[in-house]
Structure formats: structure tokens, C-alpha cells
A and B are shown apart, each in its own frame.
Chain A
Amino acid sequence: MRFLATALPLLLKELQEQAVRKRTVVMRVVVAATAYFIFVIAFSEQFSNHRGSVLGRGDDIFSLVAGMQFLAAFGILPLLLAGSIAHEKETDTLQLLVVSRMSAWSILWQMLLARLIPFFGYLSLTFPLLGIAYSIGGVEANQILSLAYLIGLTSLNVAALSIFVSTIAVTTVSAFIGVFVLGGVFYLGPAILVEMFELYALRKTAASFFPISLYSEYYRNGVWPMVAASWHMWLTTIGFLLLARFFFYRRAFVRGTGLLRRVFSRVDRITNAANRQLGGIRFGGKGAGVPGDDRPVRWRELQRRGLDRSNHTVRLSLFLLVPAIGGGVIALRLDTRFTGELLSAVILFYWGLVALIVTTVSANVVVSERTGQTLDVLLTTPIPSTQIIRDKLAPVFRWIMIATIGFLVLYAMSDWTRGRAPIGRSGPLPSSYYIVLSLGLVWIYLPMLAWVAMAIGLRSKTRVRATVTALVVVALWQFLPLVATWMITVVASSRSMDTLFLVMLGSPMMSLAYLEFYRDGIGVWGSQPWVPFAVTFVWHLFVLRAARRWCLSRAAHRLGRVWITGSQ
């Protein structure tokens, strides 16, 4: 302890802080409970009914645990690390670290270790399961060593990427969005590009960027070839750390003044100069620099995100839509037999990006005022609490409107490219069905995410907590219906596909994936393909309304001002 206090004081402080936090214990319990629950569900039948049959089947358990560990590395680690440096910047405490005797490398490493050590603690919760796998046979010692090596390297790689993004990000929100977007591009991008451009010679190298695929190298060639094939992961880890070090001081004191707004105002200066030269021709419209007669909060929220002027909105639309539509056009131009699937992948990626932005921004709109110490002043004005909350979400709904254009174009492209997938036994899904269902999902899921994230943000005291909690809740939401489906199948031995299908569509991700990928029908709801979607629409509309009602029903109380019952 004395060594830590003198040599690694930041690491000691971070570990001590995490140790006394209630949520650390809660997280450990949740992670352990989830892992053991999945294990019990997956193997209870074999263990209880056919005891002899499990002998030698340790490999199955091992694969399950390995999958869970990789999932944790990609899901939990970015949540732990993305806000680390960015949060210090927001609370103006990074400058205290910078002026201390610690070097930039020392700060970065201590921050990194302060999250990696607890993370390995989470992983260690699954060790007893690995012990069971080893004891019932079918798992070699080298297999365990390979997993340890690969999961360790993957964690280091993800951690290096996360701390690099945290170093360049000005706010925790941008850090979280940045980590997941850059992570998605880095780990999945090469494989997608290879498939898109049919560069099959590079398929193996591209796939190896996704670390789980490296594990198959062990099965094919053994431990050392797998280690050799992981060279690029070491290289990129070092690269991310060098980049983090490079930007550490350069980005330490950058203020979040709205990159887009700065870009727009620079463009405005140029267009205004052009307007003066060209007389009556105008390139940029003059927008409202001050709030109008009512709803100043709405004006402020739109203004700080560059959405208060029509010309800014058009530019932002292009900024958001060009990558989406561009991806769709590239997929069309490639004209391979996988064009339809590629378009679906582009649609799902766009979905992920928009959902990530909607969730993180909505979770932060109130908590950012709270941490910026401006909320109290706002709450002493006579603006009704419900109006404050509604107006706070104004930019989110404008983004959803902009994103809808992108979705519309992508869905139209997708529909034009191929015959729509049939649902059930009733034949192909008509275009109108596909477009209406898809846009219905956009207009129910995204507002629902916004209100759920807003509810979480209203209960949170820090931006990191709001963002992490919102992302975890949204992620769990995607998987819980799948777990429920699995439980019904295994525990209740239900084979009613109609029921299982309905439960599964409780996951927004599954609804989207189903609409995109299930081309041949799965024999359910044959003559009434609209039923499952009607049910999922009603269910998510109910959640949307419940979250909205929760936020607005006691808005004053939730914002932190004196309230009177029945009137907010």
C-alpha cells in the first residue's frame, strides 16, 4: 500500500474510490449473476437428466465462458474507460494531475490500470465455470492458456483504444460515442470492406481484426501460430497508446465550444463575404441569434448544437446523411450477390449510430446542466418543469427527423434492390409493408430510447453515470428478450414458435434484424404477418409512454425544484 501511495498515487486513489462505491458491488453481483444464470440455463438439462453425457463436453462450457468474456471486453471495458480522462476534463481536475509530478505516461497508465484491474476482477468471476469445464474433460491446458492470452490482449487493445478516444474527447458524451463508433469501424470495418469489395485474399487478415476470430487459429494450428497471428493487435495497442500520449497535453485544456457551430460560423463568414460580393445572391440565411417569444430552453438546446438556423440544419443533415446514403450507394454500385445483405448491414450500422447518439445525448441533456451548475438558475425561472424537459429533448427529436430522411433513402434502396422477404407462409412482404414497418420502428424506437435515456439522466448526478447506465440499459434491452426466449424454450420446454417469436421481437435489435434478414419466413404468423409487429409496436409504444409519463408526471421533483402535487 505504501508503495502504491508513493509510486502510483492515482491508481491507488482510483481503486479506493471504486472500492467504496456501491455500484461496484452491484456491478459485480449483476455480472456474476448473469454469467451463472446463463450457464445454468444452458447446461441444466444435461447436468440433471444425462449426467454421464456431460463428461468430455467441457469444451461447450469453455466456449460459452470465452464468449461471455469477449462480450465483456467489448461491452464493459469501453464503459469503464471511455469517460476516464474526459470526465477529468469536464470537472477541471485534469489540470491538477497535469501540474503534479506525474508524467503523461504515468497518468495514462495509472488510469488504464485503474480500470483494467477491476475488469479482470469481473472476468475472474467466471473462473469457477472454467474450472467445471476443465474438470469434466474436453478442455486442454493450452486452450485455457490461449484464452487467457487472447482475452488479456483484447482487453489491453480495447482499453488502449478507449483511453485514446477519452484523451481526444472534450466531453464524456463524445467519448462514449467516439469509442463505440471507432471501435465498430476498427474491429468490424476491415471484414466488411473485404466482403464489400470481394477482396477474398485479405479475408483472413481482415477477420483477425475481430479478436474472437483469432481464437479459431488455435484450433487450426495451435498456440504459437495464434500468438504470431495476433501481431497487429500488439501493434495497434501500442499505436493507440502513442496517440493517447501525443494528444494528452494537446487536448487537455480544449474547451467544448461546439465544433459544428465553429465550423458553421466559419462557413457563414465565407458565404457572407460572397454575398457582399455577389449582391442579391445569398448562400447562407440569417438565423435567430437570440431566443424568440417563448421556449428559450428549446432555442438554447438547438443553438448549442448548431440546429437553430435553417442553413445549419441543412448542413448538419448533409453531415449525417452523406455517410449513410453514401454507404448505401456504394453497396448498390458493387452489385454483388450480397448487395441486399450489404445494404442491410449499412442500415443496421446506421441504426446503431443513431441509437447511440440519441441515447447518450438524451441521457445528458439535464445532467450536463446539473454538473455545469446552471440548472439551479434555470429552475428559479417561471418556466414550467414539463416544458423544460420537453424542450431539452428538442435537438434529439430534430436529429430523429433528420435521421428519418437517411432511413427512408436506405430503406427505399434496400427495397428496390431485392424482392422483399416474406413473413411466414404468406409470400413476399409488399414494399409498402416493409417501408411502413421500418419507419414505424424508427418513429417508435428512437423516441422511446430518448425518453428512457432522459429518465435515467434525470436520476443521475454525473454525466458518466448517466451515459453508462443508459447504454447498459439499452444494451440489456436488446438481449433480455433473447434470454427470455431461451428460458421459455429450455426451462418451460415450450416449442410454440408463435409465442417465442413474439417474445423475441421484444428486443428492438431483433425486430430490425428480422425485418432485414429473414427472407424465407420461419413459419409463424403465416396469414397475419402484421400481428407480431403490431404486438411489438404496442409494447414499445407502451414503454415510450411510460417513460415519458415518468419524466413528466413529477417533472419539478425530478429536476430538483419545489413541486406542488398535481401541477408541475
Chain B
Amino acid sequence: MNADPADDTPPSTLDSPPIVTVRNLRVKYGKLEAVKGINFDIPRGEVFGFIGPNGAGKTSTIKVLATLLRPTQGVVSVAGFDVQRDPMEVRKRIGYVPDFFGVYEDLTANQYMQFFAAAYGVPFAEREQLVKDLLQLTDLSGKIDAQVDSLSRGMKQRLSLARVLVHDPDVLLLDEPASGLDPRARIEIREFLKELKSMGKTILISSHILHELAHLCTRIGIIEAGELVVEGSLQDIYRAIDIRRSVHIQFVETNDDLLKRVRAIPGVAGVQVEKDRISVEIREDELAVEDLLDAVHALGARIRMFQPDAMDMETVFMKLTEGKTA
């Protein structure tokens, strides 16, 4: 785990044992095997992006972690508690946002929050201030007495996120928290999740909006047809599947000798000459983009444009998955 997003994580948590452990998890619905023996760990304070097509087994896995589904086989633990043996202890340590709103439409935002504060055993005397603080954190202070039914989808989702924080859980399980939201609401949710990340919360988040996860996650797991295709930090995965990044360079003057010397730079996998520029493919584990710039500059070439292609999760996702379902 060497990606820069980990810089937000408190250093003391990096060496601690994983807060979520999934070992050989299998989930069957009758004859259908939705999850086929997956394994992964989530260290404390990390944001784990769970990616996969519809029907891949993401929600089943999250439901097992949320103690809503009994695994057919395997061992799953949260904060050291086995979900099958100590479900009640697990529940005290998780906050779960399902892939639908799950809100009581006929309550006010205040009553909704107070209900869950009571459900998690928050003392009555502390509740009022806690609810105010959480609604302020999610920018819903002005809606404290509004009926949940009257809130927009984005507000309802923010209210759900405020709700999972009432008992200050160690682990947040967020199943598609941004689905069905407009761009502004998605950005608001993303910013809020970044805030939670900076607070040191461990978050497991599934989403289809991959570039949002790329900005947020310290680790990802890609699941398809019930099997974990890959798991690790984004950089590790790029490296593992040998995805090369293209960098477009426009020189003031291009000649064969310069191209020959660019090809000779260690870490350059190939060079393609285009009409007004060259496209250099690099192996990022050997040569960082910044180092390529230095190396080209050292060759004495005058550079008019230097533009690396974005390395996005969609590329990884498309490369690793085939669109199969369980």
C-alpha cells in the first residue's frame, strides 16, 4: 500500500492488524453461488473500494459483513469479532448504508436521528447535541425539523451517512452510496467521505462510479461472478497487470536520433510517432512520469507539450473483467 491517498491515514494504524478479515467466504442462494470463496483484509483506517458489475456478489459480501446474511462457508470478522459468533458485537462496531435509502419517510430528520441514537444506546442526555453535530457535519442543520419525505435524494443520502455515525462506529459499510444522485450530490457525498477518511474511519465502499473511488480509495477489490479478480492498492494493481501509461510529447524539433535516445530511456516500453507528437509508453514501476520528463529534458530536447494519459480505474476494470455474473 504505497499510494499517496494513504498519507491521510494516521501512521499508527498502518501496522495494526486488519479490522476486517474475510477468509474463503462463500454465499449460496439455493443452487446459485453468489460468492465463491473470496479473501481480503482491510487494515484499520483504509478506504476499500469494492468494484464489480451488477450481480458480481458485492452486496452479498457487504450483507455478510453487516450481519444480515449468514455465510454458507468461511470466516468473516470485524474488529476481531466473528460475524457468526458475535453478531451483536459486530453490529456495535459497524455503520451500514444499504444500496437504497432505508429511511423512515414519516419522521423528521431529528426524530430519525434520535431513533437510531436510541437504537445504539446513546444516552438520552447526549443525543440532542450529537444529532445537532452530525446534522451540521452533513450540512443538514437547516432541515432538522423537516419531514424526511420532503428531503431531496442527496439530502436523504447525507442523512443516512449522518445516521451511521451516531454510535461512532469503527467500520462503515457503504453499498453504492452515490447511486442515483445528481453530480452535485455525488460530489458532496465524495467530499463527506473524504472527511470521514481523514477522521480515520475504515470504510468499505462499493460503487459503479469508478473514478470517484480512485480519488477516495486506498485499496480496491474487483469482484466478478463471485470471485475476487484482484485486490490491493491501485498502484499495485497497475503494476500487477502491467498496464502501461502513455505520455504524449510534442518537441519543437523531432528527429530520428532523438527518437532513438528516447526509446533507450530505461522504463520506456515503446514509442509511436504521430503527426505532430510522439506517444511514449512507460512502465510506471520502472519509470515515473516525472522521471520521464527529467530524462527527456536531459537529452537536450526542447519540449512544447508533455501530457500523460490519465490512468483510471475504468481501464483496470475493463481489462480485468469480462461482464460475467455469478
Contact = CB atoms under 8 A, between A and B. Distances in A.
Nearest to B119: A381
Nearest to A304: B106
Interface in B253-270: none
Nearest to B128: A290
A564 interface: yes
A378 interface: yes
Given A374-B104, A376-B102, A380-B91, A564 B85 contact: yes
Contacts of B119: 296-297, 378, 381-383
Interface stretch (B36-44, B64-72, B212-220, B276-284): B64-72
Nearest to B110: A290
B115 A379 contact: no
Contact of B102 (A293, A303, A373, A562): A373
B100 A562 contact: no
B92 interface: yes
A297 B101 CA distance: 19
A422 B238 CA distance: 90
B103 A376 contact: no
Nearest to B108: A289
B114 interface: yes
A379 B118 contact: no
A294 B106 contact: no
B144 to A, nearest CB: 12
B121 A382 contact: yes
A380 B104 contact: no
A416 B87 CA distance: 57
Given A377-B96, A379-B68, A562-B68, A293 B123 contact: yes
B88 interface: yes
B26 to A, nearest CB: 15
A372 to B, nearest CB: 8
Interface string A346-379: 0000000000000000000000000001101111
Interface string A410-451: 000000000000000000000000000000000000000000
A289, A292, A381 pick with most chain B CB within 10 angstroms: A381
Contact of B96 (A255, A374, A376, A384): A376
A300 to B, nearest CB: 6
Contacts of B53: none
Contacts of B95: 380
B149 A255 contact: yes
Interface in A281-336: 289-297, 299-300, 303-304
A493 interface: no
A297 B104 CA distance: 12
Contact of B118 (A294, A556, A562): A294
Interface string A529-568: 0000000000000000000000000001000111110000
B138 interface: no
B111 interface: yes
Interface range for B:
35 or more
B98 A377 contact: yes
Contact of A562 (B87, B106, B149): B87
A293 B118 contact: yes
Most buried by A among B83, B100, B118: B118
Contacts of A299: 115, 118
A257 B118 contact: no
Contacts of A561: 67-68, 87
B127 A290 contact: yes
Contacts of A373: 98, 100-102
A292 B96 contact: no
Contacts of B94: 380
B29 interface: no
Nearest to A256: B106
Nearest to A383: B119
A523 interface: no
B8 to A, nearest CB: 26
B129 to A, nearest CB: 13
Interface in B134-167: 149, 163
Contact of A563 (B87, B102, B106): B87
Contacts of A297: 119
A131 interface: no
Contact of B91 (A289, A295, A376, A381): A381
A380 B166 CA distance: 13
A255 B147 CA distance: 13
B96 A296 contact: no
Contacts of B124: 292-293
A291 B87 contact: no
B104 A562 contact: no
B179 interface: no
Contact of A374 (B64, B70, B85, B102): B102
Interface in B75-98: 83-88, 91-92, 94-96, 98
A562 B83 contact: yes
Nearest to A258: B106
A382 B92 contact: yes
A291 B118 contact: yes
Given A296-B115, A376-B102, A382 B88 contact: yes
A564 B87 contact: yes
Contact of B149 (A257, A377, A382): A257
A257 B120 contact: no
A291 B83 CA distance: 29
B111 A289 contact: yes
Nearest to B90: A562
B66 A380 contact: yes
A562 B111 contact: no
Nearest to B124: A293
A380 B96 contact: yes
A291 B131 CA distance: 13
B167 to A, nearest CB: 9
Contacts of B66: 376, 380
A257, A290, A560 pick with most chain B CB within 10 angstroms: A290
B88 A560 contact: no
A294 B118 CA distance: 6
Nearest to A567: B88
Nearest to B97: A377
Contacts of B116: 296, 381
Contacts of A304: 106
A391 to B, nearest CB: 11
A229 to B, nearest CB: 48
A388 to B, nearest CB: 10
Contacts of A384: 88
A45 B270 CA distance: 98
A561 to B, nearest CB: 5
11 contacts: A292-B118, A296-B116, A296-B119, A303-B111, A376-B66, A376-B96, A376-B98, A377-B98, A380-B67, A562-B68, A562-B70
Interface of B: 63-64, 66-70, 83-88, 91-92, 94-96, 98, 100-107, 110-111, 114-116, 118-121, 123-124, 127, 149, 163
Interface of A: 255, 257-258, 289-297, 299-300, 303-304, 373-374, 376-384, 556, 560-564
Q: Considering the complex of A and B, which 6 residue pairs feature the smallest CB-CB distances, nearest first?
A: A296-B118, A377-B102, A381-B119, A290-B114, A291-B118, A380-B96
Given A293-B123, A377-B102, A379-B68, 6 more contacts: A290-B110, A292-B124, A296-B119, A303-B111, A381-B119, A556-B87
